[in-house]
Amino acid sequence: MKTAICYYSRHHGNTLKVLEGMAQEAETDLIDVTTRQTVRLEGYDCVGFASGIYGFAFHQGVVNFARQYLPEGKPVFFVYTYGGAKGTGAKAMAALAREKGCPVLGEFSCKGYDTFGPFQWIGGIAKGHPDARDLENARRFYREIRERFAGGIQS
Ligand SMILES: Cc1cc2nc3c(=O)[nH]c(=O)nc-3n(C[C@H](O)[C@H](O)[C@H](O)COP(=O)(O)O)c2cc1C
């Protein structure tokens, strides 16, 4: 299964850490939406979209990327990290996928070290995350996604 994951990860690189863990499971093209101006996703069997949560949402760059480049009907999944409040980013991405007739294979999330705003004064929250267990859970999620895909998709 040929997979790309389009991502935005800036605050502490937490989301990228998770994606790199997943990429150990199977060869995966990790596409930074801030450096890739254009991309062809048609050739992939499946496409992931990943982001830290900023203001309760996926980064707008990831949303725009999906809106612009996600082909109709392409199976998708979502990955995100957050400090303490997941927000509705994955829900919004699922709605976008529905508009394009794309089956959603699943979503993975875990906490990510957060020093945004006042949290910096207390040394941050979700310290040490993603940790080894988060990364193992992420790899398992990715394995299961791939198995589901191989067994035929039911969305
Ligand atoms: C500007 C900004 C806004 C954030 N908003 C939220 C939020 O609404 N909910 C939350 O749980 N965490 C929030 N966080 C924390 C990040 O979601 C968390 O640290 C995440 O792991 C960052 O991912 P990254 O290191 O891949 O960028 C915010 C962080 C920043 C910098």
**Which atom of ligand 1 is closest in space to residue 114's alpha carbon?**
19
Residue 155 covered by a domain:
no
Determine if ligand 1 sits within 6 Å of the CB of residue 107. Answer: no
Q: How far apart are CA 81 and CA 54, in angstroms?
A: 10
Amino acid identity at 116? F
* 28 C-beta closer than 6 A to ligand 1: no
Instruction: Outline where DSSP puts E strands in 11-154.
Output: 28-32, 46-54, 57-58, 76-82, 104-111
What does the pLDDT read at residue 79?
A: 98
How would you write the pLDDT of the chain (155 residues) with one tens digit per residue? 899 999 999 999 999 999 999 999 999 999 999 998 789 999 999 999 999 999 999 999 999 999 999 999 999 999 999 999 999 999 999 999 999 999 999 999 999 999 999 999 999 999 999 999 999 999 999 999 998 888 876 54
Considering the domain boundaries, does residue 90 fall inside one? yes
Report if residue 69 sits inside a domain.
yes
Tell me which residue range forms the domain holding 96.
3-150
Q: Residue 134: CB within 6 Å of ligand 1?
A: no
Q: Is residue 14 lining ligand 1, measured as CB closer than 6 Å?
A: yes
Which residues lie across from 54 on neighbouring strands? 57
Supply the DSSP string of 16-33, one letter for each residue.
Answer: HHHHHHHHHHS-EEEEET
Report the CATH number that the domain containing residue 13 is assigned in CATH: 3.40.50.360
Q: What is the DSSP-derived secondary structure letter of residue 120?
A: G
Distance CA 146, CA 91 (A): 22
Phi and psi dihedrals of 118, rounded to 5? Answer: -65, -20
- Which ligand 1 atom is the nearest neighbour of the CA of 53? 17
Tell me how long the chain is. 155
89 neighbors 56 (Cβ within 8 angstroms): yes
pLDDT at 57: 98
DSSP state of 113: -
Q: Contact 81/45 with Cβ under 8 angstroms?
A: no
Residue with tokens 């935005």: 8
**Ligand 1 close to Cβ of residue 119 (< 6 A):** no
Work out how many domains the chain is built from and give that number: 1
> Which pLDDT does position 148 carry in this prediction?
84
